[in-house]
Amino acid sequence: MGVRLLLREETLTARIVGEIDHHTARAVREEIDSAAQKVKPLRLCLDFTEVPFMDSSGVGLILGRYRLMQMWQGRVILCGLSPQVEKLVEISGLNRLVTMERRENDESHE
Amino acid sequence: MKAMNEMSVSFLSVSANESFARAVVAAFASQLDPTIDQLADLKTAVSEAVTNAIVHGYRETLGTVYITAKLYETGKIVVRVRDKGVGIPDVEKAMEPLFTTGGEERAGLGFAVMQSFCDKVAVRSALGKGTTVTLHKSLLRRGREHE
């Protein structure tokens, strides 16, 4: 479990690696927040490409980061969503608050 | 209806066991040859139920979480997740989306997710005695229904 952070042109990208559940969410959250609070980026991109599983703890994680970014009018972008993660995001209604980008190779394979 | 296979597992209510719990149920359910999506749905629902038992049932205390799973020839799996924790005062309210007593970034979506990812979810709870969540899910592959 880990997070790789990359700052480029006002966008902080957090590439999350591993399963997101109640057990792992705290460390991910702390790592993202300490960077985001320092940089206050315009956009926070949460990259789920390397997240094979997530439950509603991941929804809490996204919602919390959305609230944090709101403090300086920043946006949250989700990318690399698997169908499972995308389904959860839609059930939660989060898709109305954040921008979603699907996994790039999903369509090209079909 | 008689189950064609059955398993039970119990473990300490520490959060590191959340991934163990969903993995063990998924491994057992694989006998029914489910699709990857069906298995992902089942894992998610089990993860929610087990997290509830750990976070809410046992709160700050340590207890044992009990899981039993039964497979049926119809392609159905029934998973029971039980704790002997504090119980839920108002089950109907607890099942409302966004209701949470969890704080700390709990989305309050546990039951909503279980209901969306399973065919049926039943909850029995008694204050001071504990809570049992029963998840029903058909893992029958489409197109095999008429065999």
The strand pair at B130-138 and B76-83 is best described as antiparallel
Average pLDDT over chain B, rounded to an integer: 91
CA-CA-CA-CA dihedral for A91, A96, A98, A103, to nearest 10: 50
Classify A62 as helix, strand or coil: helix
Would you say residue B145 lies in a domain? no
B55 with A22: Cβ contact below 8 A: yes
Would you say residue B147 lies in a domain? no
Q: What is the mean pLDDT of residues A84-107?
A: 82
**Which residues 9-68 of chain A have a CB within 8 Å of chain B?**
19, 21-23, 25, 29, 53, 55-57, 59-61, 63-64
> Which residue among B16, B37, B51 places its CB closest to the CB of A55?
B51
DSSP conformation class of B10: E
Above 60 in pLDDT, residue B11? yes
Give the active site residues of B: 48, 52, 106
Would you say residue B41 lies in a domain? yes
Q: What is the mean pLDDT of residues A51-71?
A: 95
- Provide, as residue numbers in chain A, all residues whose Cβ is less than 8 Å from the Cβ of B55: 22
- Provide, as residue numbers in chain B, all residues whose Cβ is less than 8 Å from the Cβ of A60: 105-107
B26 CA: distance to closest CA in chain A (Å) = 13
- Provide, as residue numbers in chain B, all residues whose Cβ is less than 8 Å from the Cβ of A29: 105
pLDDT for the residue numbered A1: 77
> Which residue among B41, B54, B106 places its CB closest to the CB of A60?
B106
The crossing angle, in degrees rounded to 10, of helices A83-92 and B110-117 is 130
Of B87, B70, B68, the closest CA to residue B128 belongs to: B87
B71 CA: distance to closest CA in chain A (Å) = 23
Q: What is the mean pLDDT of residues A57-67?
A: 95
> Domain coordinates of chain A in residue numbers?
2-108
The mean-pLDDT minimum among A16-20, B19-23, B31-35, B139-143 falls in B139-143
* CATH value at residue B101: 3.30.565.10
Rounded-to-integer distance, Cα A99 and Cα A54, Å: 18
pLDDT for the residue numbered B143: 54
Q: What is the mean pLDDT of residues B85-108?
A: 80
- % of chain A exceeding 70 in pLDDT: 93
Please report the DSSP string for B53-120 in residue order. IIIIISTTS--EEEEEEEE-TTSEEEEEEEE-SS--S-HHHHTSTT--S--TT--S-HHHHHHHHSSE
The mean-pLDDT minimum among A98-107, B50-59, B89-98 falls in A98-107
Quote the number of domains for chain B.
1
In terms of residue numbers, what domain contains B98? 5-138
pLDDT band at B140, cuts 50/70/90?
confident
Would you say residue B146 lies in a domain? no
pLDDT for the residue numbered B108: 79
Task: Please count the other Cβ atoms lying within 10 Å of the Cβ belonging to residue A72.
Answer: 11
pLDDT for the residue numbered A108: 42
pLDDT for the residue numbered B136: 98
A7 CA: distance to closest CA in chain B (Å) = 25
- Per DSSP, what are the bridge partners of residue A46? A14, A78
Would you say residue B66 lies in a domain? yes
CATH architecture of A2-108: 2-Layer Sandwich (3.30)
Would you say residue B143 lies in a domain? no
Would you say residue B116 lies in a domain? yes
Q: Which residues contact B24 (CB under 8 A, 6 or more apart)?
A: B9, B67
Above 50 in pLDDT, residue B44? yes
